[in-house]
């Protein structure tokens, strides 16, 4: 029995309008990003990260709830800022769901991953100190992001069941949330530093320059 | 519950060992990998035990699964209801919920009868097959004594309980008691041997009088 947005079927027109809106948001986010990032040509590494996220998500799909996208969107949030992370969430989720499964739940995943990226961008100064990535703090945030993402996506259950069932649903899903958190922490501890070096080298951005838009004023 | 605690303890101990066994600069990496690997290896047990512990009962009385754990939503179950004085040993304090592997994980002591429901089954098409699976899962605790008749299988006793032990049965059969079969809460017009099932059927055996 499906409880979440998998149980809601959209008409082709509704689905098209929703998809068109998501693609528009992704394009708008890339166009209206801050000038500092654009001038540094972060496009190539952004595309590489998006390809990594899509392929990683599909590759790790057989493992329950280990999501490389969450880790990568945190890195995009930190190094590219808010608008890039929104675009990243939309592009990666849409692309990978075409191969996995696409429907109303795609929207919840995009919103949840975009919010994780926005939060990472806003908390960036906590993660980069003295030009170095604080992996321990980032691991804690990545663990928290797993629960945050899963609970936002779980809101889709409210399409089909009463709110009174929501807490029970969240409670039942805790082992899956824990697995997502463990996967995020492993990816952060192993790959955050190498990826950080790759991003700063390829974009010519120093840690000081790579700031979220809200902080650039 | 104890399985859940043991599993969590193993995960924590292994993670700590993974942390302590590595050099300082690799401790986070080592501990996180050990945590993930042990979690993945024990995930089936962990999620099953956690689901059993946190599962609430269906409270919609129009749902055939009314009173059963949400864990069994979309799955098949067999219930055996006994008069309170005649429930098998250990089942007189309410309605027990026993999972497909025989684990008794939840008791509803406010249910209006005593006994047990055995559930979490999938893929059974005919009632007798589901019933046999439920009996096997509980280690033959609810074994049937039945006889073939021209109308099909007639159940004499379940778990050794004869309806005529619980109610007065007249020798001329003008009044008596019998094991009644319900399918999704309604009296079944078909015997258990011929009863076609849904993917989430609930079969109930209870004593009725005439």
Residue B81 pLDDT exceeds 90: yes
* Overall average pLDDT of the A69-89 stretch: 93
> Is residue B178 a part of any domain in this protein?
yes
Q: Which residues of A touch B51 (CB under 8 A)?
A: 172
In this structure, are B92 and B195 located in the same domain?
Answer: yes
Q: What is the pLDDT of residue A162?
A: 78
For residue B36, the chain A residue with the least C-alpha distance is: A182
In this structure, are B49 and B87 located in the same domain?
Answer: no
> Is residue B59 a part of any domain in this protein?
no
Residue A139 pLDDT exceeds 90: yes
The reply to whether B199 touches chain A by the CB within 8 Å rule is no
Residue A39 pLDDT exceeds 50: no
In this structure, are B162 and B94 located in the same domain?
Answer: yes
Identify the domain containing residue B40 by its residue range: 2-54
Interchain pair B36, A66: CB under 8 A: yes
In this structure, are B119 and B43 located in the same domain?
Answer: no
- Indicate the pLDDT class of residue A217, thresholds 50, 70 and 90: very low
Interchain pair A182, B36: CB under 8 A: yes
In this structure, are B42 and B83 located in the same domain?
Answer: no
> Is residue B197 a part of any domain in this protein?
yes
Domain endpoint, select from B27, B54, B81? B54
Residue A213 pLDDT exceeds 70: no
In this structure, are B11 and B75 located in the same domain?
Answer: no
In this structure, are B75 and B154 located in the same domain?
Answer: yes
> Is residue B130 a part of any domain in this protein?
yes
CB-closest option in B28, B50, B74 to A175: B50
Residue ranges of domains in chain A: 10-205
Alpha-carbon gap, residue A15 to A22, rounded angstroms: 11
The pTM (predicted TM-score) of the whole model is: 0.77
Interchain pair A63, B40: CB under 8 A: yes
* Overall average pLDDT of the B155-174 stretch: 86
In this structure, are B45 and B106 located in the same domain?
Answer: no
CB-closest option in B32, B55, B73 to A189: B32
- Indicate the pLDDT class of residue A165, thresholds 50, 70 and 90: confident
CATH 1.10.1760.20 describes domain A10-205: yes
Q: Which residues of A touch B28 (CB under 8 A)?
A: 135-136, 139, 189
- Indicate the pLDDT class of residue A6, thresholds 50, 70 and 90: low
Indicate the helix (H) or strand (E) that contains B145.
Answer: strand B144-149
Residue B93 DSSP label: T
Contacting A residues, span 74-103, partner chain B, CB-CB under 8 Å = none
Q: What is the pLDDT of residue A38?
A: 45
The reply to whether A167 touches chain B by the CB within 8 Å rule is no
In this structure, are B76 and B130 located in the same domain?
Answer: yes
Q: Which residues of B touch A178 (CB under 8 A)?
A: 39
In this structure, are B49 and B106 located in the same domain?
Answer: no
Residue A46 pLDDT exceeds 60: yes
> Is residue B126 a part of any domain in this protein?
yes
> Is residue B199 a part of any domain in this protein?
yes
The reply to whether B49 touches chain A by the CB within 8 Å rule is no
Best of B4, B11, B30, B32 to disrupt the A interface by mutation (most A CBs within 10 Å)? B32
The reply to whether A172 touches chain B by the CB within 8 Å rule is yes
CB-closest option in A172, A182, A183 to B51: A172
Number of domains observed in the structure of chain B: 2
In this structure, are B14 and B115 located in the same domain?
Answer: no
Shortest Cα–Cα distance, B34 to chain A (Å)? 9
In this structure, are B107 and B154 located in the same domain?
Answer: yes
> What is the three-state SS of chain B?
CHHHHHHHHHHHHHHHHHHHHCCHHHHHHHHHHHHHHHHHHCHHHHHHHHHHHHCCECCCCCCCCCCCEHHHCCCEEEEEEECHHHCCCCCCCCEEEEECCCCEEEEECCCCCEEEEEEEECCCCEHHHHHHHHHHHCCCCCCEEEEEECCEEEEEEECCECHHHHCCCCCCCCCCEEEEEEECCEECCCCCCCCECCCCCEEEEEEEEC
pLDDT tens-digit readout, B133-144: 999 999 888 988
The reply to whether A136 touches chain B by the CB within 8 Å rule is yes
Maximum mean pLDDT: which of A202-216, B115-129, B133-147: B115-129
> Is residue B65 a part of any domain in this protein?
no
Task: Kindly report the CATH number assigned to the domain that includes residue B201.
Answer: 2.170.130.30
> Is residue B61 a part of any domain in this protein?
no
Task: List the single range of A19-23, B9-13, B103-107 with lowest mean pLDDT.
Answer: A19-23
């Amino acid at each position: 029995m499906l409880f979440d947005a998998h149980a809601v079927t959209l008409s082709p027109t509704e689905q098209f309008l929703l998809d068109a809106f998501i693609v528009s948001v992704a394009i708008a986010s890339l166009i209206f990003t801050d000038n500092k990032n654009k001038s540094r040509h972060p496009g190539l590494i952004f595309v590489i990260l998006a390809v990594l996220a899509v392929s990683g998500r599909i590759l790790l799909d057989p493992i329950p709830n280990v999501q490389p996208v969450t880790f990568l969107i945190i890195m995009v949030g930190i190094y590219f800022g808010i608008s890039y992370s929104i675009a990243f969430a939309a592009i990666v989720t849409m692309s990978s769901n075409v191969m996995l499964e696409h429907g109303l739940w795609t929207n919840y995943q995009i919103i949840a991953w975009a919010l994780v990226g926005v939060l990472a961008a806003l908390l960036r100064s906590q993660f980069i100190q003295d030009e170095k990535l604080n992996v321990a703090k980032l691991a804690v945030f990545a663990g928290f992001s797993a629960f945050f993402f899963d609970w936002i996506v779980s809101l889709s259950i409210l399409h089909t069941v009463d709110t009174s069932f929501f807490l029970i649903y969240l409670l039942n899903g805790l082992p899956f949330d824990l697995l997502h958190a463990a996967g995020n922490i492993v990816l952060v501890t192993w790959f955050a530093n190498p990826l950080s070096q790759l991003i700063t080298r390829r974009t010519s951005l120093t840690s000081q320059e790579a700031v979220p838009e809200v902080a650039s004023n | 519950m104890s399985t859940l605690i043991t599993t969590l303890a193993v995960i924590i101990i292994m993670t700590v060992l993974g942390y302590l066994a590595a050099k300082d600069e690799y401790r986070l990496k080592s501990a996180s990998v050990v945590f993930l690997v042990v979690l993945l290896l024990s995930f089936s047990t962990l999620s099953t035990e956690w689901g059993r512990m946190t599962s609430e009962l269906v409270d919609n009385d129009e749902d055939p699964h009314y009173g059963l754990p949400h864990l069994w939503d979309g799955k098949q179950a067999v219930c055996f209801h006994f008069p309170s004085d005649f429930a098998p040993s250990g089942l007189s304090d309410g309605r027990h919920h026993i999972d497909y592997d025989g684990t008794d994980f939840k008791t509803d002591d406010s249910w209006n009868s005593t006994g047990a429901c055995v559930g979490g089954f999938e893929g059974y098409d005919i009632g007798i097959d589901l019933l046999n699976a439920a009996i096997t899962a509980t280690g033959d605790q609810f074994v049937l004594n039945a006889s073939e008749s021209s109308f099909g299988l007639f159940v004499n006793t379940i778990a050794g309980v004869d309806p005529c032990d619980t109610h007065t049965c007249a020798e001329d059969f003008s009044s008596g008691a019998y094991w009644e079969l319900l399918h999704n809460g309604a009296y079944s017009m078909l015997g258990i041997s011929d009863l076609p099932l849904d993917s989430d059927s609930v079969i109930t055996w209870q004593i009725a009088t005439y």
